[in-house]
Structure 1
Amino acid sequence: MASTYSFDIVSDFDRQELVNALDQAQREIQSRYDLKDTKTTVELGDKSIIINTDSEFTLDAVNCLIQTKAVKRNLSLKIFDYGKVETASGNRVRQEITLRKGISQELAKQITKLIRDEFKKVQGSIQGDAVRVTAKSKDDLQAVIQRLKQEDYPAALQFTNYR
């Protein structure tokens, strides 16, 4: 048995689930009494969500609503990177929420260092915005997955291509 096993550590989200969550939030904004007449808009771009509403109070309510809908659709809240609240025309407020996708170089170095320090028979290598983990034993890979789930990283980690 000279074969090696591997898996990838990635940070990604299901875009269709995000679209569905934002659609549900938009419907609830239009029907909720406290948000109905605020002319709130939620726009999904390629890498961000832009919320435009009439006050910071309603902005907080909309953010809470989006988070609730995202959690119900099994999306991690770590994919949202909230920008600062800006004033827009007509006494309105605007906020841009950047969507996090991929593992940053610093986080990838941190993960490979943890793997190198704690697991002697496992190798971790950075491949773009993912980390490839290889070992001769599937049990070692399972131990790495369990150890990484214990850590609280700023990105939502998924373990894919397990072979």
Structure 2
Amino acid sequence: MPSFDVVSRVDLQEIDNAVNNSLKEIASRFDFRGSKTELTFDKKNVVLHVSTESDMRLKAVRDMLIGHCVKRKVDVRALDFGDPKPGAGQSVKQDIKVKEGIDKDTAKKIVKLIKDSKLKVQSSIQDDQVRVTGKKIDDLQSVITLLKGQELDVALQFVNMKS
């Protein structure tokens, strides 16, 4: 029976490349000369740490990072920007979590969307992904088209297509 999985994955190497490109841009930009701006990627906890001197520079670093992620084909919805926190002196810090996997609420939304579409497919939640099975590949492709058209708060990929 044909099936596929709906997942939310991020290529961490591409995130690392986007961080490195942002660091190069920070080093070469005139408005960041002499500033204490840091951008680090904690690969173990999958979190980006930004530390800079002002809210304006924090916004500039965030925009830079988003731009480099888009260039490297990383969906920006995978980045969860935390609230900026004041640091020592005039500095500002922000943690950016990289979201991987589909949380339970979003998985339930996906299953409900598929059931409401009245297509002859079955969907089930398996850990941090949703498996969709059906008799016809055309129905599975219709589900993919349906999910691509939805505005969900996670980046979706469709993998493991078996016929």
Same topology, TM > 0.5? yes
Q: Deviations over 1:89-135 (max 9, x none)?
A: 13100001111111010110110111112134100000000000000
In the alignment, the residues of structure 1 paired with residue 33 and residue 101 of structure 2 have an alpha-carbon distance, to the nearest angstrom, of 36
CA–CA separation in structure 2 for the residues paired with 1:161 and 1:132? 9
Q: Which residue of 2 aligns with 1:34?
A: 31
Q: Distance in 2 between matches of 1:104 and 1:112?
A: 12
Unaligned runs of 5+ in 1: none
Give the root-mean-square deviation of aligned CA atoms: 0.8
Aligned to 1:146: 145
Cα distance in structure 1, aligned partners of 2:36 and 2:24: 12
Write the mapping of 1:1-163 to structure 2, written as runs, cut at 5 A.
4-45=1-42, 46-163=45-162
Is the Cα–Cα contact under 8 Å of residues 9 and 158 in structure 1 kept in the other structure? yes
Shift of 1:47: 2.2
Displaced runs of 4+ in structure 1, greater than 6 A? Answer: none
Q: Distance in 1 between matches of 2:15 and 2:118?
A: 36
The number of aligned residues is 160
- Alignment partner of 1:37: what SS? coil
Structure 2 stretches of 5 or more lacking a match? Answer: none
Percent of residue pairs bearing the same amino acid type: 41
